[in-house]
Amino acid sequence: MPSPAEYYVLVCVLAVVFASLPLAMLVRALVPRPAHKVEAEDTDPRQGAGDVPYGIPARPPLPPPWADSAGGGMPEGPWQPPQAELLPPVPPALPLHHAWSTKDAWFALALALIVAVLMGPVASGAGGTAEKIEFSPALFTVQIIFQAGMIVLVLGYLCLHRRFNPVSLFGLRRMSVHKAAGTALLWLVPAYFIIIMVAYATLPVLQDLTGIELKKQMLVESAPTITDPASQVLMIVTLCIGAPLMEELIFRGVLFSVAARFIHPVYASVATSVFFGAVHANLFSLIPLVLLGMLFTHVYQRTGSLVVPVLMHAFFNCSQVLLLLYGPQEFQ
């Protein structure tokens, strides 16, 4: 549990993020944007050169009637396909990136409030007094149920209410699993060491500014003492599968994507990444988590596939869990 001082700092961080959003929207509305930027923002960044707009599948041209004939030459005059053989037009199967509407903004805001209350420092309570938590299979099972419930809530809104196609919306088929995994590792491995160095360099500064003795997350402190095999397995499922899927779907898939529609994408990345770090309710890990959030967001923008940040998140969490459970003490 965060100390009272740490709790208030984290709550203030969350409050600043929420309070800054209307100002960012106002700046976005008042500051004129160049025409080429407006046009670029109205184009799905995940749409490649060979993609068909709005998800309409490309139709191969009908072959001329003489294509399958053994003999016979080309008839005189231009060939016109018979009207009876033309297929009916296919409506857009999927709203693109710029199709997020005001109702999606309200849903994203409500989702952010739910996450802040159920996950963040608000859930810990002001001045939490628990010095130790018993990490049992029941506790991890509750966490898995919560993660699954949040995923169902988001997908239910997108699929049932908004009639979106999540596979296309989040670019889940843009890359094969092998390519997505390779891309995730190419981005994560060098960034991992940079983030660690930045975190250790800024940690003393953060302690001096806040006057708080920063401690690691309670799970990180307690993980080496978890020896029950069932608890270890459920912890791995929670951190390496459930957390990457739920958090990337919420923070990158919905919160960032919707925010980037109404405020500047750069500030949308910063705001959602700070929010991502703050809801983990630990000042010690705030800066590295904010940097990780910005990295995941940048990679999502570059690749257009949510699979890549999900795998990056999973690789990062798995490396931390394995070090905590089986690594030497100096690496923990």
Whose CA is closest to 44, among 7, 87, 110, 97? Answer: 97
Q: What is the mean pLDDT of the chain?
A: 82
How many angstroms separate the CA atoms of 274 and 14, rounded? 8
How many angstroms separate the CA atoms of 14 and 258, rounded? 18
Residue 330 near residue 286 (C-beta atoms within 8 A)? no
106-144 per-position pLDDT tens digit = 999 999 999 999 987 766 654 455 566 788 899 999 999
The neighbour count for residue 22, using CB atoms within 10 Å, is 10
Asked if the structure places residue 40 within a domain, the reply is: no
Asked if the structure places residue 246 within a domain, the reply is: yes
Which amino acid is it at 256? Answer: F
Residue 321 near residue 240 (C-beta atoms within 8 A)? yes
How many angstroms separate the CA atoms of 286 and 279, rounded? 9
Least reliable range by pLDDT among 117-126, 228-237, 238-247, 257-266? 117-126
pLDDT at 122: 65
Domain that holds residue 187: 4-21+100-124+144-326
pLDDT at 64: 55
pLDDT at 84: 47
Asked if the structure places residue 27 within a domain, the reply is: no
Whose CA is closest to 17, among 282, 330, 274? Answer: 274
Residue 172 near residue 306 (C-beta atoms within 8 A)? yes
252-299 per-position pLDDT tens digit = 999 999 999 999 999 999 999 999 999 998 999 999 999 999 999 999
Asked if the structure places residue 119 within a domain, the reply is: yes
45-68 per-position pLDDT tens digit = 444 433 333 333 444 555 555 555
Residue 104 near residue 162 (C-beta atoms within 8 A)? yes
How many angstroms separate the CA atoms of 159 and 216, rounded? 38
Whose CA is closest to 324, among 235, 220, 237? Answer: 220
% pLDDT > 70, the chain: 75
Cα distances (angstroms) measured from residue 34 to each of 28, 98, 100, 318, 327: 12, 17, 21, 43, 52
How many angstroms separate the CA atoms of 197 and 99, rounded? 39
How many independent structural domains does the chain possess? 1
Asked if the structure places residue 188 within a domain, the reply is: yes
Q: Which residue has the higher pLDDT, 201 or 218?
A: 201
DSSP-based three-state secondary structure for 75 = coil
Residue 90: band (very low, low, confident or very high) from pLDDT cuts 50, 70, 90:
very low
Task: At 87, list the tokens.
Answer: 């297929």
Asked if the structure places residue 12 within a domain, the reply is: yes
Whose CA is closest to 163, among 92, 245, 88? Answer: 92
Residue 261 near residue 38 (C-beta atoms within 8 A)? no
Asked if the structure places residue 74 within a domain, the reply is: no
pLDDT at 121: 74
Asked if the structure places residue 220 within a domain, the reply is: yes
